[in-house]
């Protein structure tokens, strides 16, 4: 089924497709989405450094970094549906977007909704040009699903807020120079009400700002996230988004966008991955096996459903509604799909899936990696159980957990 997007959007698609064809950089074809975090020579697996810098400058000149943001702050003011088309075309050309860590998807949208004009004018251009590179410091050792219970404290001291506590599972922290922290600034009110959302520099004026990063290893062998010990880290009060003690509302916007953003892009990766697995089945003469066919047919239908549920969410955002329970439906759907897809791939490969390739460190082949990584999807951005609670309570009106 093809979605008719009308002549205007068709012409937008054509323009993006031409831009990508004319500016294609061979060395970056198939590279992972570029975070544009830190020194590009660092760990980001995004192709040669010079090529990545050049690509960033081309995208910046065309205002194609954070292009959905208002033109007044350096974006291009693209609508949600234009963003869906843009993502599809980048994916089709196999050229990477520059996402600025969680800047484009989480921090920026929350500042746009809850920040003051001064905060929007200050923070958003700095994300677009790569000056500020954020990671998301929500989870704590005892507070993951129970986010409202966070214990990290924020104390106002003159023009600063001083933050002390611990955060954990912070993706990309080792590549960021600032962390968005949800912290408790009032312990004398119900727990959702005493929280603040603070943008904390990891270093300040080139000096240590009391944020110690300890890398952690995932079961795939990768070390994509950190544990942070925050000891008296300072940020100007100006860096509190949404006002003191109003952080819960801002955090909900961040989480809604986190779920919604992936909902609209996830099918692109899954579609490619699906056809790659079909190719593996063909090479192994498994496409006549009834059980393999059944699994592949199931996976194909799920990817299509993810696609259309993502479009439905886009339409809701286009109508200026903030992502609500429908974002949880999408997140639950794609993450549970992918976890099962990882097992389908392992089953299809049979005994060979159990043998890891040789080489230094903890190596995995592509399908082993998919199997491991797909487990994480049902945990981050709120576990599947939490999504079911949200759907039950906010969409179906069931009694509270
Ligand atoms: C790959 C990865 C990347 C991550 N990146 C980040 C990041 O960048 N920033 C960040 O802040 N966090 C990040 N996280 C952390 C993630 O948000 C938490 O792991 C998640 O919210 C779950 O919290 P927890 O691990 O403390 O588990 P817990 O909250 O302790 O949950 C344990 C189990 O109990 C279940 N459970 C808990 N409460 C309920 C309930 N009320 N009803 C039903 N079941 C319940 C959960 O579903 C889960 O199965 C990341 C996690 C992963 C795996």
Domains of the chain from N-terminus onward: 6-99 (1.10.540), 133-245 (2.40.110.10), 249-395 (1.20.140.10)
The token duo for 49 is 């450094």
Q: Average pLDDT across each block of 10 residues of the chain; the chain has 401 residues. List them in order.
A: 74 97 94 67 64 92 94 90 89 92 92 96 95 95 95 98 97 92 96 96 91 90 89 98 97 84 79 96 96 97 90 72 79 94 96 87 89 92 94 92 73
71: helix, coil or strand? helix
- Centre of ligand 1 from the C-alpha of residue 190, in Å: 22
Residue-wise DSSP of 329-386 = HHHHHHHHHHHHHHHHHHHHHGGGGGSPP-SSSS---HHHHHHHHHHHHTTTTS-HHH
CA 259 to centroid of ligand 1, rounded, Å: 14
CA-wise closest residue to 57 among 156, 129, 143: 129
Q: What are phi and psi of 277, to 5 degrees?
A: -70, -35
Separation CA 110–CA 246 (nearest Å): 12
The pair of three-digit structure tokens given for residue 316, joined into one six-digit string: 């809701």
Q: How far apart are CA 91 and CA 22, in angstroms?
A: 16
Specify which residues 32 forms β-bridges with: none
β partners of residue 54: none
Q: Which atom of ligand 1 is nearest to the CA of 139?
A: 11
Mutate to test the pocket of ligand 1, among 148, 170, 219, 380 (most ligand atoms within 8 A of CB): 380
258 is catalytic: yes
pLDDT at 43: 52
Residue 40: predicted pLDDT: 45
What is the rounded CA–CA span in Å between residue 80 and residue 62? 18
**361 C-alpha to center of ligand 1: Å?**
27
Q: What integer pLDDT is reported at residue 318 of this predicted model?
A: 64
Ligand 1 pocket mutation pick from 149, 251, 379, 388 by most atoms within 8 angstroms of CB: 379
Of the chain, the end-to-end C-alpha distance in Å amounts to 39
pLDDT recorded at residue 45? 57
Angle at 196 between CA 76 and CA 141, to 5 degrees: 105
Distance between CA 340 and CA 322 in Å, rounded?
30
pTM summary value: 0.91
């Amino acid at each position: 089924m093809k979605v008719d997007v009308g002549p205007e959007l068709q012409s937008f698609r054509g323009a993006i497709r031409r831009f990508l064809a004319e500016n294609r950089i061979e060395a970056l074809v198939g590279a992972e989405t570029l975070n544009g975090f830190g020194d590009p020579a660092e760990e980001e697996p995004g192709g040669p450094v010079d090529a990545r810098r050049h690509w960033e400058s081309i995208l910046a000149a065309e205002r194609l970094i954070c292009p959905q943001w208002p033109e007044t702050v350096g974006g291009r003011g693209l609508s949600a549906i234009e963003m869906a088309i843009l993502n599809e075309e980048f994916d089709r050309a196999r050229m990477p977007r520059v996402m600025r860590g969680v800047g484009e998807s989480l921090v920026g949208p929350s500042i746009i909704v809850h920040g003051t004009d001064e905060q929007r004018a200050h923070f958003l251009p700095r994300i677009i040009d790569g000056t500020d590179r954020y990671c998301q410091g929500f989870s704590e050792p005892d507070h993951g699903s129970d986010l409202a219970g966070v214990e990290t404290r924020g104390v106002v001291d003159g023009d600063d807020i001083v933050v002390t506590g611990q955060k954990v599972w912070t993706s990309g922290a080792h590549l960021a120079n600032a962390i968005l922290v949800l912290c408790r600034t009032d312990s004398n009110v119900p727990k959702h009400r005493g929280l603040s959302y603070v943008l904390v520099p990891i270093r300040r004026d080139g000096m240590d700002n009391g944020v110690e990063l300890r890398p952690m290893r995932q079961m795939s062998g990768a070390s994509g996230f950190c544990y942070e010990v925050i000891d008296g880290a300072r940020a100007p009060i100006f860096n509190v988004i949404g006002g003191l003690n109003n952080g819960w509302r801002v955090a909900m916007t961040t989480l809604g966008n986190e779920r919604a953003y992936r909902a609209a892009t996830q099918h692109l990766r899954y579609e490619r991955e699906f056809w790659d697995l079909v190719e593996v089945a063909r090479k192994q003469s498994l496409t006549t096996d009834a059980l393999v066919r059944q699994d592949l047919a199931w996976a194909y239908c799920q990817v299509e459903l993810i696609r259309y549920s993502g479009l439905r969410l886009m339409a809701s955002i286009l109508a200026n509604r903030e992502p609500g329970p429908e974002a949880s439906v999408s997140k639950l759907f794609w993450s549970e799909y992918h976890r099962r897809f990882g097992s389908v791939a392992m089953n299809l490969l049979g005994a060979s899936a159990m043998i890891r390739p040789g080489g230094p460190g903890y190596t995995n082949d592509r399908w082993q990696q998919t199997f491991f990584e797909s487990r994480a999807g049902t945990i981050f951005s709120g576990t599947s159980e939490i999504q079911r609670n949200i759907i039950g309570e906010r969409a179906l009106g069931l009694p509270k957990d």
